[in-house]
Each structure stands twice: as structure tokens, then as C-alpha cells.
């Protein structure tokens, strides 16, 4: 299994209403300091309807980028129950999924 598929498969564990960070997802697939690699993989996600890359955010609680625009990512996260204020997830720590 290549790295992209490993990452997408691991991301499927993150349920609706929760998020993970680029760094935590990297660690979950065995990458040390792999945040940027995860970001690139998320940007190329060929299955955005199936693989919820919108649930990957920055470790600061900021939502980060999204291939279809930050406004789309914000809307998708809001629809899943996330409260976002000034581009950051409210109660960030409580919403984090633990692998």
C-alpha cells in the first residue's frame, strides 16, 4: 500500500464531528515531522466525498487550506457541528480525534 492510500485509510477513522491535525495524522502513519507531506496528500485527494480531508486542520486550531477553498472547508466543518470563529475551531482540544 502506498503512502497516500495509507493516509486516506487512516483518515477514514476520524468520525464526523471530530478533527485531526496534519501532524497527528502524519504520526499515525509513521511519518515524523510529516505535516507538509500530509498537506500535499490532502490537496491531491481524488476521493474528497469519501475521504474526509476537510477534517484535517492545523495544530493551532486554524482550519488551514483546502483544495476547494477555505470557505468550503469552513462550511463542511460547520455542517458537521464545528463552531468556527475567525478561521479557528472553537473548543479545538475537545474536538481532536485520538488515533
Give the whole-angstrom CA distance, residue 10 versus residue 21. Answer: 12
Task: Determine contact, residues 14/20, Cβ cutoff 8 Å.
Answer: yes
SS3 category, 87 = coil
Active site residue 53: yes
Which is the catalytic residue, given 28, 38, 53, 57? 53
Do the bridges between strand 56-57 and strand 20-21 make them parallel or antiparallel, or are there none, so unpaired?
A: parallel
Q: Which residues are catalytic?
A: 53
Amino acid at each position: 500500500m502506498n503512502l497516500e492510500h495509507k493516509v486516506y485509510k487512516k483518515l477514514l477513522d476520524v468520525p464526523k464531528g471530530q478533527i485531526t491535525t496534519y501532524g497527528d495524522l502524519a504520526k499515525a502513519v509513521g511519518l515524523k515531522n510529516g505535516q507538509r507531506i500530509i498537506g500535499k496528500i490532502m490537496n491531491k485527494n481524488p476521493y474528497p466525498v469519501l475521504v474526509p480531508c476537510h477534517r484535517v486542520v492545523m495544530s493551532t486550531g486554524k482550519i488551514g487550506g483546502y483544495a476547494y477553498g477555505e470557505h468550503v472547508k469552513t462550511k463542511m466543518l460547520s455542517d458537521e457541528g464545528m463552531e468556527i470563529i475567525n478561521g479557528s475551531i472553537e473548543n479545538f482540544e475537545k474536538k481532536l480525534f485520538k488515533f
